[in-house]
Structure 1
Amino acid sequence: MDIGKELGENKIVLVIIPSKKYSTASLKIAKKLSQKKLCYVTTNKTSGSLNESFSKKKVKMENVIFVDAISKSLGTSSKDEQSIHVSSPGALTELSLVIKKVLKHNLDYLVFDSLTNLLTYNKAETVSRFISSLASTIKKSETKGVFYALDVAEHESMIQKCGLYVDKVITIK
């Protein structure tokens, strides 16, 4: 899969990733998209942890800003210029407001990691409404969006529903 090509042809894509390939695939996509301005929304790894992983893989960190929805809930948030912290992955209104503000800064890409992790904190219907709203917000902006979802059988119906809000669904095998 060539994420650059996919985003050349589509405004928003949903990438379904098997758990065994999740780290490798997400790093590869971040590296490719960091050639331009990238906002990486994380709901499962701290921005500090991602910063470390991304730096090791030569992701252009000067082009990356994080919206970190996990560090505060773990009590590990720190002040740095590359991260905006949200209270928890369950705070969807707060997360939505922060993303709307960030999108005003003419970013090229927004990666949302991950839809399936939101189900730990919210009901499937709530997550689906949130993704619908977020997809609409992205479509009104100049930014292109990438949503990640883990390829997990118990989340299949929610993933299918979220697939309705994007331009293309890509499944990594």
Structure 2
Amino acid sequence: MIPELDNISDGEIVLLIVDVDKYHKAVLDIVNFFCDEKKGKGVFISISRSYERLKNTFKSSNISIDRLFFVDVVSKIVGLNVEDSDRCIFIEDPTNLVDISVNVQKLLCNINNKNKFLVFDSISGLLLYNKSISIERFIHSFCCKMRSWNITGIIMSIKGELKEDMITTISGFCDRTINI
């Protein structure tokens, strides 16, 4: 478990920078913490792993996804034949950051729970498809929306994959930055 998770306040937005060898466990810990321990409901935005793969990973780790909705940004670009469901929206184009934002908002509006949360996995993945400045603008806009929605947000990145000036900029949009 990531000890710092216990200290995250409702509505707080955290930039979580994780060593690559701890990354997958960190994702499991975060989802387990917000869904099972806090009994929250939220949205998981995945840039690097398909909804199907995440579903299987969470299931094999005994983490229920009944309280989780997904925005899958990877399945369609790798050619998987997928269709939107009540649990997951599949994004056509990872360069269409507005589409990601609109679909996250659509899912969050349908969640009735005082402990709403969002996990963004990850900024590093978006860099494959977008320029740094576009991502910074997107994250800024997204952080403003999360504050207006009063939800807790975890924005993840793999340590060493973002330039220091980008980390500084995005950290300024968040309430705090945690390195693990």
Question: How far apart, in 1, do the equivalents of 2:168 and 2:54 lie?
Answer: 28
Return the match for 2:166 from 158, 162, 173: 158
Equivalent residue number for residue 131 of structure 1:
139
Question: Deviations 1:44-68 (Å, cap 9, x if unpaired)?
Answer: 1001000000111111211111111
- The 3 A distance-change label for structure 1 pair 37 and 76 is same
Equivalent residue number for residue 8 of structure 1:
9
Question: Deviations 1:77-114 (Å, cap 9, x if unpaired)?
Answer: 42343211111322211111111222222451100000
Moved more, 106-115 or 151-160: 151-160
Q: Which amino acid aligns with 2:14?
A: V
Return the match for 2:88 from 53, 71, 83: 83
Question: How far apart, in 2, do the equivalents of 1:170 and 1:64 lie?
Answer: 23
Equivalent residue number for residue 32 of structure 2:
31
Q: Note if contact 1:109-1:143 (Cα within 8 Å) is conserved in structure 2.
A: yes
- Pick the structure with more helix per residue: 1
Q: Note if contact 1:10-1:167 (Cα within 8 Å) is conserved in structure 2.
A: no
TM-score w.r.t. the length of structure 2 is 0.88
Question: Deviations 1:108-149 (Å, cap 9, x if unpaired)?
Answer: 110000011111111101100000000000000032110001
For the residue of structure 2 that corresponds to 1:41, the secondary structure is strand
1:140 and 2:148 equivalent? yes
Could you list the structure 1 runs, at least 4 aligned residues long, displaced by more than 6 angstroms after superposition.
Answer: none
1:68 and 2:72 equivalent? yes
For the residue of structure 1 that corresponds to 2:143, the secondary structure is helix
Q: Which amino acid aligns with 1:92?
A: L
Moved more, 86-95 or 2-11: 2-11
Equivalent residue number for residue 109 of structure 1:
117
5+ residue gaps, structure 2: none
For the residue of structure 2 that corresponds to 1:78, the secondary structure is coil
Question: Deviations 1:8-60 (Å, cap 9, x if unpaired)?
Answer: 26610110001111111111111111222121000110010000001111112
| Paired positions, count | 172
Question: How far apart, in 1, do the equivalents of 2:172 and 2:161 lie?
Answer: 18
TM-score w.r.t. the length of structure 1 is 0.92
Q: Note if contact 1:116-1:155 (Cα within 8 Å) is conserved in structure 2.
A: no
Equivalent residue number for residue 169 of structure 1:
177
5+ residue gaps, structure 1: none
Shift of 1:156: 2.5
